[in-house]
Each structure stands twice: as structure tokens, then as C-alpha cells.
Amino acid sequence: MRLGVMCGVLAVLFSGAVAPAAAAPAASEPVYDYAKAIRETVWVDIGRDGDGDGRSDRVAADIVRPSEATSRVPVIMDASPYYSCCGRGNESELKSYDSAGKPVKFPLFYDNYFVPRGYAVVLVDLAGTNRSAGCADVGGASDVGSARKVVDWLNGRATGYSAKTGGSAVTASWSTGNVGMIGKSYDGTIANGVAATGVAGLKTIVPISAISSWYDYYRSDGATFGFNPDGLARTVESRNGGQNCSAQNQVLASGATANGDYGPLWADRDYVARAGNVRASVLLSHGVNDLNVKTIHFGQWWSALNVEKKIWLSQTGHVDPFDYRRAAWVDLLHRWFDHYLLGLDNGVQNGPAASIERQPDQWADQSAYPAANAVATTLHPQAAGTLGTATSSGTASFTDNPSLGEDTWVTNPGTAALTYSTGTLAADLQVSGTSTVTVTATPSTSSARVSALLVDLGPATIRNFAGGGEGITTGTAENCWGASAPGDDACYRITSADQKKVSYTILSRGWADLANYASLTQERALTPGTAYTMTFRLASTDHVVPRGHALALIIGGTDASFIRGPAQPGRITLDLARTSASVPLAGIPPAATTHPAPPGAAHVPSEARADLR
């Protein structure tokens, strides 16, 4: 047998034929023993002294990586302020450590699933949180620098140490330098911010329900939501004793002015303005009913990016796709990281750019977002209460009542809001993209707020995004995603769609302070009786208004569900000839007729959520 094999080999060699190369793997496989993985912490110097103690701050990077790997491995990184104060994921997991300070529990499934497949997972405590020195600055240079410097260290461009102070220098000799950042909410926001620096080595980001401009988290076209970044900073710093962050917190408090002006603090935290620097690919996920990180964030970020990208839009609120479409999400992440971090040619970058949940657990792929056939369509409110493409004339007035919110506006507006409707649609009408509203408004007082809603008037079964789970119900049974080790299991409670029947759906909202009519950077005093024209944005969305329903535009003053009222609420009169909405539509709205009677069931929260987790 040996002689026969040798003769066959010689025949191949002398014939000049070349043996076929081994086929490239289609996907990374779990070939490494997770129980034997190396767990360690490196403190990376970020070159700042945020807490004013006279020493350059070091941030803790907790690392888990395969011990048997004979070649360098890429990194999946989640940089967060929540590893000790608030927890990560649907089960609010925290980091844990053994008696020697070595990391044991790595929140979420990324380590369990990807380390056996040849990745390192690095969880970074942002400056001023958990075991890191410094102070949080809520999306500013310290937060973003915390994560960027770890990317630099993974690429040999920054210094890491074996201890928070002192210690010896540590290099990432095991790293390929290819980094993918992932995270929900604040964590995904940091991924956006780091990508906007253009740092070399960051190959991809996966922002989930993430902020793209901190101004739009705390303010909206001059209107204020009533909470400020210094409160968030104090929350995430609360578990990191011994550091005095009062000076940094005061910078946040004074920079976030009481009015809604866009100033230097917000400009420093505006990643959309620097989206041209992004070189990493982007896999983006957001709930179209997220009333925490509102959907303007994904819309403006997506539009500003010029890289390979894909997007998932669910009907949920502030929820990770692991908890509403688990198996498909893990599979997509696996292929995404394999392609962008390992270089596998699996085609994940091809195919439809968007996947959108149309009804609970019913998804539709779309070639583009916004929809390729969506056209910015100008809709005009008519004096008769109709909404259509024809120009209008006349005036209409409402009286600002800061105690009323959007649900009342839809079901029983009275004199507090104005409703304009297309009437019953003969065919489906898709709203896909970011709308704007232009008002020419005359206030009766020297201060005024203006808010607007796009509403689908008609019955539907939706995810109950206003419920405690924001569209999901968490069961008691578990399924597992990867390998487990003592103190760090890979099993998570199974979730299902929390559904609710409604008679209308608010699909987009926007708010403005009329005092910012001329500029977002400086409000101006209003003169009662004088007309002012202002254009403001509505939240990004992708929603199909079905045949038999109607699309309505509602305009009012202070939406008490979200924004603070003016010092002197009064009566506002609209010049209908110079008031309109620009709505990206796929389909043609019918000629305006009388609008249907407003329905009676509400389903949205009475106040905005302000928990950035």
C-alpha cells in the first residue's frame, strides 16, 4: 500500500499537475476550548487626566482569548460605562472577578460564542467607570478616547500596563489589530464615536439603538427633553469610589445650557458631523418605536455614512436584536465578523441592505433604506382638515396646553392640536426615511413650542413597545449560544413578542422651539403677533400605512409626553399656505377627502424614557 501511494504521488509530481489547494472555510468553527481561555486585564493609558489627580488615566480592558491559538486573533470589543453600575443585556449582567482580580464573568454572549471560534473579546470600562481611572464625559473626548486608545493598543500604537497604577508594560502580541466594536445604547454610541475618528484597525462597528449626536438625545431643534448629561455621568461613576469627578460633571452641567441651543458641548459630541471619517463597515440595528434613543439617530447616521452597511429595523422600543430575532441575529453577526475581521469571503456584504419588521415577527427585506422608490413628497394641510399634495390657503389656530400629550392629540385634540388626514387610502402607502415639517406660525406670546406627529389611523396588531419589555416578553426557559465556563454561562432566557391591538400608530414625531427659527445655535426673542417660519425634523422610520387606513399629520404646541413647555404658553396661528410636511413616500397619496373620526385607544407612553441602557 505504501508503494502504491508513493507511486501515485510521484506520478502527480512528474506530470506537472498541482494538487488542489484546501478550500477556504465558509465560517469560523468552535475549535478552541473556552474553559482554557486566557482571562486577563490590561490598563491602557489614554493620555488624559480627567479626574485631576496628576496622573494620566488608565482604562481597564478585560480580555478573554483562546489559549491554544497559534496565530494572532482579531478582536470583538464592547466599550461601556455600565459594567458595574447598571448591567448589560436583557438580564442586566455585570462583570465579575475572582479574589485575585482576574475577570470571570463577561456580560452577554459574545465571549461564549466567538472565543471558541478564534476571536478575542475585549470589554472596556470607559474612563471613570468600574475599574478605570478618570471621569466619564458622556460621549466626549474621554469616553471616545477610552475606546480608541484600546484600539490603538491592539495595533501597537498605545501603551498598556499590568496594573491600574505602576505595573509593567504589556503588549497585544496576540492581536491581528483587526477590531470590531459592538454595543447597545451608550456602548453602540461609543462605537459610532470611535468610528468617526477614522482610527486605523477598526474594521467594523455594530451600533444597536445607538446615539449619533448627543444634542439629539437631550434636545430637539431647540426644544428640551428635561434631562441633562451630568446626571448620566454621576450615575455611571457611582460605583467607582475614590475619584473626584465634580469638575468634569460641572463642565457637562454648564455646557448643556438650559435652552435648546446647539453649542460647543454638543458639537464635540456630534458624530454625524464627522461621519466622513468613518472607514469601518456598519451593521446597524434600531427599533422604530425607540422612545429612548429616538430614531432620528439612526436615520441621520445612516444617511451620512459612505461605507458598506446594512440595517435592521424592528417594531420594538429600546431592545437588542438578540432579544427579538435571536437565531437570525447571531448568524448574521457570525458571518459579519467572519467577513470583516477574519477576511472570509462569505458574501455577507451583498444582498438586501435593509430588513424591516412589518408586523410582530414578520420581516421583509428591502434593497435599500430609505426604500429605493421613496420620494420626498410635500403634503399640505387644508383648512377643511384634509391633507394632500395640493397647495392650501387660510389659517388655523391651536392653544398650547403643556399638560397634554400626543395620545390626547390623536384621540381628543380639542383646541390643543390640529389634525389633517389623507382620508381612506385605496392602496398601501410606505413612509420610508426622515420627514420634515415647515410651519409659518404666529405666536400670541413671546415663547412657543411646536410639535408634529405622523399617524397611521387604523387598527393594527403591533409589538407593545410601551410595555415593560418594550415589545418583548421574557420567559423562564433558556437557550445557549456558545460554550460555558464556571461563572460565565452562555445561556439566556427565551423571549417572545409582546403584542397589542391598537386603533392607531404614531409612526414619527418631532419637536421644536420656535425661538430657534433662525438658528439652532442661538435662540431669538419672539414678538407676539409676528409670523415666524421654521423647519424641523421628524423621527426616521419605515412604516407601511395599509390600504383602508389614513395617514394623518397632527400639529400642536408642547407635547407633554416628551418636551418642556414654554415660559408663556399661548395661542399659535398657522399660515396654511406656508405650512407643509415633506414626507418620503413610496406610493401616491389620494386626493384629500374628509378625515375619519379619530380613534380612541392609546398605546404610547405618557412620558419619554430617559434610561440610556
Any idea which residues carry the catalytic annotation? 185, 290, 318
Instruction: Give buried/exposed letters for 421-460 (b at 16+ CB in 10 A, else e).
Output: bbbbbeeebbbbbbbbbebbbbbbbebbbbbbbbbbbbeb
Residue 320 CB neighbours (<10 A): 25
Contacts of 272 (CB under 8 A, 6+ apart): 212, 213, 300, 301, 304
444, 310 contact by CB (below 8 A):
no
Q: 139, exposed or middle or buried, with CB in 10 Å at 0-12, 13-18, 19+?
A: buried
| Closest listed residue to residue 611, CA positions, set 468, 404, 403, 449 | 468
E-strand ranges in 328-428 read: 354-359, 362-366, 375-381, 387-388, 395-399, 417-421
Which of the 8 DSSP states describes residue 577? G
Cα–Cα distances in Å, from 268 out to 142, 187, 271? 11, 18, 8
User: What is the H or E stretch that residue 219 is in?
Assistant: strand 219-220
Q: Phi/psi of residue 83, each to 5°? A: -75, -15
User: What is the H or E stretch that residue 451 is in?
Assistant: strand 449-463
381, 553 contact by CB (below 8 A):
yes
Cα–Cα distances in Å, from 530 out to 166, 187, 335, 533? 65, 45, 58, 10
Q: What radius of gyration do the chain's Cα atoms show?
A: 27
> Can you tell me the distance from the alpha carbon of 302 to that of 293, in angstroms, rounded to the nearest whole number?
15
Q: How far is CA 190 from the centre of its chain?
A: 10
Q: 591, exposed or middle or buried, with CB in 10 Å at 0-12, 13-18, 19+?
A: exposed
219, 521 contact by CB (below 8 A):
no
3-state secondary structure at position 517: coil
Q: 569, exposed or middle or buried, with CB in 10 Å at 0-12, 13-18, 19+?
A: buried
> Can you tell me the distance from the alpha carbon of 12 to that of 543, in angstroms, rounded to the nearest whole number?
62
Contacts of 481 (CB under 8 A, 6+ apart): 109, 112, 113, 326, 330, 490, 491, 492
245, 50 contact by CB (below 8 A):
yes
> Can you tell me the distance from the alpha carbon of 575 to that of 346, in angstroms, rounded to the nearest whole number?
56
